[in-house]
Chain A
Amino acid sequence: MSMNAQQPADRGADLAEDLEPTAHLIAEKADTTASQQEKAHRPISRGRLVWRRLKGKPNFYIGGAIVLAIVAFALFGDLFNIYTQGQQDSFNFNSPPSAQHYFGTDAIGVDLYASMTSALRTSLLIGFLAAPTATLVAAIMGSLAGYLGGPFEMFTNWLINLLLVLPVFYVLMIVSPAIADPSNLPGAIQWLGFMPAWGLLVIAIGLFSWMIMAQIVKNQTKSLKEREYVKAARYMGVSTPTILRRHIIPNVASLLIIDGALGVAGAILAETSLSFFGLGIQAPDVSLGTLLQDGTGAAVSRPWLFVIPASFLIALLTGVALVGDALRDAIDPTSEVNRA
């Protein structure tokens, strides 16, 4: 950027370039109104609007295709494989990818393809369950704190601020012995011991990663609380849970959807990191983290053991992030062009 050296004459063109996005918006708006006139001025529903904008985003298609492909592979990949997860082939130790072992085998002859489908199922399950759990907690805590105010808000603020000095991953690390071995659960929550490791991981990740979203929901709720329709409902004696459910949550729903979508990547990342250091899913179960841990030592000598799980992890997280980003662009009210 060597704009400083530009002649004054060039500035006009430059300014026109700055204004161009606005012109683009106006054109788009005119376009929208034209298509709307065909529908006899019927106002377009918000869901339809978001969907239409989403359809115009290349990131949505790229990310969606990646995620769908990986989910399909995790669910149906086993149909094309004769080995099952954990089964050892005593004649093929350390074999590179071949027609017999599509992704190769490790030092004791375990088929990596079978491990991958199983690991992806575990990681996807944790991601797709933990993220909505965290979002649900964020919605409840945030809206209650913002609506009720007083001691409950102070308590929530305090929890959120605690996050500023204690990274979430440390909290997950502290509770991880219980995930590795449910007999480590402290007395009061011993009854959770019936859960498999992935279930405990879902609970742990869901319970400890809602803080930032709750902060945003709380601030939104505080401003919504002063709106006339909320006040009217309150003075008519509508109960707090009903007001939250009918008037507050729908207004922050778009934020929650975005958080839920992006949270999937965060949850998978948390699970992978824990399992990578032996703190999450334990053998004989596999997840992307445990496969990466096994593959790291062999990264140079037997690259397939590291490269394949790593590429799947990166592709999956990138896909989720792309979908989340497209969703944010489509939902975000500041990019609203259909206000008429």
Chain B
Amino acid sequence: MTQYILRRFVNYLVLTVIATVFSYIAASLFFYPRRRYLGINPPIPEESVDGILSAYGVNDKDPVLLRTWWWIERIIFEPLSQKLGQDLQGNWVINEIVGRAGTSLRLLLLGALLAALLGVTLGVWGAVRQYKASDQIVSYASFILISTPTFVGGVILMILATNFNQLLGFQMIRFTGSYTPGITGFFPQLWDGFVHLLLPTIALMLFGAAGYSRYQRSLMLDVLGSDFIRTARAKGATRNHALVKHGVRVALIPMSTYLAYSFGTLVAGSAFLEIIFSWEGMGKYGIVAVQTSDVNALAGNVCFTAILLLFSSTLSEVLYAALDPRVRV
């Protein structure tokens, strides 16, 4: 069992390295950082631009493979904080990741966890009450929520919060940035962090839960029709016992794989929310990197995301093994 998980982990680790290197090569091919220094008045001499770009290792006059080789060399030989090079602002990418990771993870982990819990619960509940009014309402609501991109949902929540604040007469829900500067003391800071988390987490949770609940509902419907549920009922198990111990457990097995596959969607969704709510997190760093043709920053961001997904995939393998005894041989 441990060996199985370990093997999968190593497999994902190799994929993470490949994904990062590939994204570096692709970004080097498609990005054109020189544009930042063109069209400036007075014009910068070409040699100076070459010098700046070469210092960052993104000069388009060097062949892409050579640049990639230098980049890999730097990862192997430089000290830890300089491994991924500098972004075009001159900051070390590793330092940026360390500084921003906490902000992103707070939103992402909380949102993903709540989305999974809510989605599974709603899915099971809907399946048990198939075709009843409550199931229909949840179904249509999730169809609409799936169809609402997180950046639209985030803006709608902001409008609602603004109206709510106006109704209250003071700013209860603050939603710009991830914290209010200048607040001191442990509990005020905790409350402030919570208030800022509120809207983006709700947006991410609803978006994720809508998709999960549809999938969980169809899985649960398959299970409800199976013989072992009827057998359990015939042997005298209560309806709840049969549904939870025999039904939900089986219906959760494919769900654990689906959660791993869809975590990437949530990562992208939370990146949109970071932009909408002006959070200085990794998602915003990645999107700004694309907007400013910043190859090193983008590669660092992909590396961070890939490691995140590496852990979520491994976790889903563990979950799979915990739920399905057939894997644990």
Tell me the A residues contacting B by CB distance below 8 Å. 1, 3-4, 6, 11, 14-15, 18-19, 21-22, 161-171, 173-178, 184-186, 212, 265, 269, 272-273, 276-279, 292, 296, 299-300, 303, 306, 310, 313-314, 316-318, 320-322, 325, 334
A306-B130 Cα distance, complex, nearest whole Å: 36
A292-B272 Cα distance, complex, nearest whole Å: 13
Instruction: Please count how many residues in chain B sit with their CB below 8 Å of the partner chain's CB atoms.
Output: 60
Also in contact, A318 and B30, with CB within 8 A (given A164-B313, A165-B19) = no
Q: Which of A21, A22, A212, A273 is close to B149, meaning CB atoms less than 8 Å apart?
A: A273
**Interface residue B89 (Cβ < 8 Å from any Cβ of A):** no
- The interface bits of chain B over 7-50 (1 if a CB of A lies within 8 angstroms of the residue's CB, else 0) are 00001100110110011001101111000000000000000000
Complex interface: chain B residues within 8 A of A320 (CB): 147
Structural contact, A174 and B15, CB atoms closer than 8 A: no
Structural contact, B27 and A174, CB atoms closer than 8 A: yes
- The interface bits of chain B over 126-146 (1 if a CB of A lies within 8 angstroms of the residue's CB, else 0) are 001010000000000001101
Structural contact, B19 and A166, CB atoms closer than 8 A: yes
Q: Which among B23, B30, B225, B275 has the highest number of chain A CB atoms within 10 Å? A: B30
**Interface residue B162 (Cβ < 8 Å from any Cβ of A):** yes
Pull 17 A–B residue pairs with CB atoms less than 8 Å apart, ordered by A. Answer: A19-B230, A164-B260, A165-B16, A165-B19, A165-B306, A166-B309, A170-B286, A175-B26, A186-B29, A186-B30, A277-B275, A277-B287, A292-B152, A296-B151, A296-B276, A299-B159, A316-B147
Structural contact, A166 and B306, CB atoms closer than 8 A: yes
A6-B239 Cα distance, complex, nearest whole Å: 10
A317-B211 Cα distance, complex, nearest whole Å: 13
Complex interface: chain B residues within 8 A of A173 (CB): 286-287, 290
**Interface residue B293 (Cβ < 8 Å from any Cβ of A):** yes
A260–chain B nearest beta-carbon distance, Å:
17
B94–chain A nearest beta-carbon distance, Å:
19
Given contact pairs A165-B309, A165-B310, a sample of 9 additional A-B residue pairs in the complex whose CB atoms are under 8 Å apart: A11-B233, A11-B238, A161-B15, A164-B12, A165-B313, A166-B22, A170-B23, A279-B291, A334-B222
Also in contact, A170 and B268, with CB within 8 A (given A21-B225, A321-B147, A322-B143) = yes
Also in contact, A175 and B30, with CB within 8 A (given A11-B238, A292-B152, A300-B162) = yes
Also in contact, A166 and B287, with CB within 8 A (given A174-B30, A313-B149) = no
Summed over the interface, the residue pairs from A and B with CB atoms below 8 Å come to a total of 155
Q: Main secondary structure on chain A at its contact with chain B? A: helix
Structural contact, B143 and A325, CB atoms closer than 8 A: yes
Structural contact, B239 and A11, CB atoms closer than 8 A: yes
Structural contact, A162 and B15, CB atoms closer than 8 A: yes
**Interface residue B302 (Cβ < 8 Å from any Cβ of A):** yes
Complex interface: chain A residues within 8 A of B286 (CB): 170, 173
Structural contact, A313 and B152, CB atoms closer than 8 A: yes
Structural contact, A303 and B151, CB atoms closer than 8 A: no
Complex interface: chain B residues within 8 A of A316 (CB): 147
**Interface residue B158 (Cβ < 8 Å from any Cβ of A):** yes
With both beta carbons as reference points, the residue of chain A lying nearest to B144 in the complex is identified as A318
Structural contact, B15 and A300, CB atoms closer than 8 A: no
Structural contact, B306 and A296, CB atoms closer than 8 A: no
Structural contact, A184 and B143, CB atoms closer than 8 A: no
Complex interface: chain A residues within 8 A of B239 (CB): 3, 6, 11, 14, 18
Complex interface: chain B residues within 8 A of A161 (CB): 11, 15
Structural contact, B143 and A310, CB atoms closer than 8 A: no
With both beta carbons as reference points, the residue of chain A lying nearest to B265 in the complex is identified as A167
Structural contact, A212 and B261, CB atoms closer than 8 A: yes
Within 236-267 of B, Cβ neighbours of A (below 8 Å) are at 238-240, 260-261, 264-265, 267
Structural contact, B290 and A174, CB atoms closer than 8 A: yes
Complex interface: chain A residues within 8 A of B23 (CB): 166, 170-171, 174
**Interface residue B93 (Cβ < 8 Å from any Cβ of A):** no
With both beta carbons as reference points, the residue of chain B lying nearest to A334 in the complex is identified as B222
With both beta carbons as reference points, the residue of chain B lying nearest to A306 in the complex is identified as B155
The 7 closest A-B pairs by CB, nearest first: A317-B147, A167-B264, A169-B268, A186-B29, A166-B19, A165-B306, A318-B147
With both beta carbons as reference points, the residue of chain B lying nearest to A332 in the complex is identified as B218
Complex interface: chain A residues within 8 A of B290 (CB): 173-174, 176-177, 277, 279
With both beta carbons as reference points, the residue of chain A lying nearest to B313 in the complex is identified as A164
B175–chain A nearest beta-carbon distance, Å:
12
A15-B27 Cα distance, complex, nearest whole Å: 60
Structural contact, A296 and B155, CB atoms closer than 8 A: yes
B139–chain A nearest beta-carbon distance, Å:
9
**Interface residue B54 (Cβ < 8 Å from any Cβ of A):** no
A317-B289 Cα distance, complex, nearest whole Å: 29
**Interface residue B298 (Cβ < 8 Å from any Cβ of A):** yes
Complex interface: chain A residues within 8 A of B59 (CB): none
With both beta carbons as reference points, the residue of chain A lying nearest to B13 in the complex is identified as A165
Complex interface: chain B residues within 8 A of A167 (CB): 264-265, 267-268, 305, 309
Structural contact, B27 and A165, CB atoms closer than 8 A: no
A245–chain B nearest beta-carbon distance, Å:
29
Also in contact, A4 and B240, with CB within 8 A (given A273-B272, A300-B159) = yes
A296-B260 Cα distance, complex, nearest whole Å: 31
Within 211-225 of B, Cβ neighbours of A (below 8 Å) are at 222, 224-225
A262-B302 Cα distance, complex, nearest whole Å: 27
**Interface residue B98 (Cβ < 8 Å from any Cβ of A):** no
A322-B230 Cα distance, complex, nearest whole Å: 32
Also in contact, A178 and B30, with CB within 8 A (given A279-B290, A299-B155, A321-B146) = yes
**Interface residue B148 (Cβ < 8 Å from any Cβ of A):** yes
A231–chain B nearest beta-carbon distance, Å:
29
With both beta carbons as reference points, the residue of chain A lying nearest to B230 in the complex is identified as A18
Also in contact, A272 and B264, with CB within 8 A (given A162-B15, A174-B27, A279-B291) = no
